[in-house]
Structure 1
Amino acid sequence: MENNSTKWYLLVFLGCVWGSSFILMQLGLKGVNSIQLGSLRILFAALFLITVGFKHISKIPLHKWKYIALTSACGTFIPAFLFALALSKIDGSVSSILNSLTPLNTLLVGLLFFGINVQRRQILGVIIGFIGCVLLVLFGDGENTTENYYYAILIVIASIFYGINVNLIKKYLSDLKPLTISTGNFVVMFIPALVILYFTGFFDVVHEAKVQTSLGFIAILGVIGTGLSNILFFKLIQISSPVFASSVTYLIPVVAFGLGFLFMNESLSAIQLFGAFIVLIGVYFSSRK
């Protein structure tokens, strides 16, 4: 009973945090470019997690490090750059809705590579969700060109990586504590992210006022939206199921659209709203037991 209540609290909290992450990324992009944003987000999260979880690194068995490396790449490293690139061209509200394809992709990855059972209604959900996704990508409003909306495909790719990540953690890392997994992930990512940041020329412009303002937003994004949230998400995966954990993406569009409407003057066209509705219907069917 305690686990049942806890998983819902975690789900709602993560939905709120990750829903607000989209506006933080957009604010961060006002002073840095997409690659710098992705690198800085990882580095801030890494510094936080290594500080609080350093003692947990030794608790990772040697044979588990390959899964730690895989989950770090699929769950954070690659998606961090994909989201940053996409948000340089499309609204956060659209990105958050497309991110809700994660449960569908978690289901598909689990079916194809991890041997989970699937029902007809879940297959129907995948098809419905894909149709909604196509509507969102192809029918942008007047302020965004169709060419820009092709960047939405990057969000879909990121959601596939998230699906791989969730299944990997559930199958291979459920015996490790969430803080242990998170710290191990960011130990793996720290040096690559730092090297990438160096070659972007970030350290030549770090003194600029707009860059320093962006750093504040990215620090919040990295520490809370990535570091702390990763720990809680891994906990959610362990006490629930992969598809339930990934269903946090149901709540993310609501938060992201609300904040985008209030603070970033974002809006969706009528066809996009219909597409968003179709996506969520697909997610619902795919995630039902």
Structure 2
Amino acid sequence: MKYLPLMAFWLLGIVWGSNFIYMKMAAEYLSPLQIVFLRVAFGFAPVFIYAYFLGVLKRSHFKHLPHFVVMSLLATSVYYFSFAKGASLLPSGIAGALSGTIPLFALLFSVLFLAEEKANLMRVLGLLSGLTGVVLIAKPFAGDIGATNLEGVLYMTLGSISVGASFIYAKRYVLPLNIPAAALTTYQLALSLIMLSIITPFEGIEQITGDLHASLGLIIGLGLLGTGLAYLIYYFIIAKSGPVVASSVTYIPPVVALVIGAFLGEAIGLYEVFATALILVAILLINKKQASESEPSVLKGKHLRES
């Protein structure tokens, strides 16, 4: 299916965009480490079953264990914990907006470590457009300045750096191994789950069962969809479109968070619509270079016109 990369791109952005509301709900009952542990546990189970029945789990893969460990840290443990902690300290709008800085770090690392990736004018303009959009959504100059917790900002930034670096690490070291995405995701989540099971305090973790919405949000929203399904899509997009294009999917979550806020009764005006438009323009600009190369792009203009 020639439109599959495009569909996967937007689906991943929507799934990740809904994660903030689920983390916020779970934070009422659990610590950030507990949230991450349960998220990874519920994400790992279906992915393992899927990979097992596909027959893609091989003993020979374990010679690449160091790479799987790095990915489990960058793209799962550190990333998830930092965002869970940041979301617990910040208003959801600001946390969601800060998550949109991931492509900035992905582009920076790709220019430094990937010879084929260049910071051309279109990508620079795209980054500036996207960052402007997420800043406008965050509204840092409006309301109570005390609402922006510095510790929360630092945690969100750490999470963005971590997952931004993971795109480049996966492109350079993991994808050349030609291991199926289901197997890569299984190894990554399994190693993360082992590490989290050692450091997570389990006292009071059962409190989440007292709220049906929070429980379902954690199990289905964060676990099954936001972790298991999301990382199968994650590896697929990197393989098809490259790390910079794949990382630009993280411009979508702030917009999704904005829409969810509207359904929850938050006011949305022309200001927010303009910011959303800037983010969409950023995605197009960052993908523009890919459209002229042999490597397929998830947003290739030709494909869009044909659709």
- Taking structure 2 as the reference length, the TM-score comes to 0.78
- 1:219 counterpart residue number: 219
- 1:22 counterpart residue number: 20
Shift of 1:184: 0.7
- 1:176 counterpart residue number: 179
Deviation string for 1:51-110 (max 9, x for gaps)? 332453325534422111111111111111111111112233332332222222211111
For 2:227 and 2:26, the matched residues in 1 are separated by 14
SS of the aligned residue for 2:3 comes to helix
For 2:42 and 2:282, the matched residues in 1 are separated by 35
Whether 1:11 and 2:14 are equivalent positions in the alignment is no
- 2:140 counterpart residue number: 139
Gaps of 5+ in 2: 290-307
Matches within 5 A, 1:98-137: 98-115=98-115, 116-126=117-127
Shift of 1:33: 2.2
For 2:66 and 2:267, the matched residues in 1 are separated by 42
Distance 1:209 1:67, change over 3 A: closer
Deviation string for 1:174-195 (max 9, x for gaps)? 2111101100101211121112
How much is the aligned-residue C-alpha RMSD, in angstroms? 3.1
Whether 1:52 and 2:65 are equivalent positions in the alignment is no
Counterpart code for 2:32: S
Deviation string for 1:96-139 (max 9, x for gaps)? 33222222221111111222222134345445655666667782
Most deviating of 113-122 and 187-196: 113-122
Counterpart code for 2:34: Q
SS of the aligned residue for 1:145 comes to helix
- 1:185 counterpart residue number: 188
For 2:65 and 2:204, the matched residues in 1 are separated by 35
For 1:91 and 1:276, the matched residues in 2 are separated by 18
Q: Is the 8 A contact 1:103 1:283 kept in 2?
A: no
Q: Is the 8 A contact 2:110 2:244 kept in 1?
A: no
- Using CA pairs under 8 Å that are at least 6 residues apart, name the structure with larger relative contact order, 1 or 2: 1
Shift of 1:212: 6.8
Gaps of 5+ in 1: none
Count of residue pairs brought into register by the alignment: 283
Q: Is the 8 A contact 1:41 1:218 kept in 2?
A: yes
For 1:153 and 1:270, the matched residues in 2 are separated by 29
Distance 1:271 1:112, change over 3 A: farther
SS of the aligned residue for 2:58 comes to helix
Shift of 1:35: 2.3
For 1:267 and 1:85, the matched residues in 2 are separated by 26
Q: Is the 8 A contact 2:93 2:138 kept in 1?
A: no
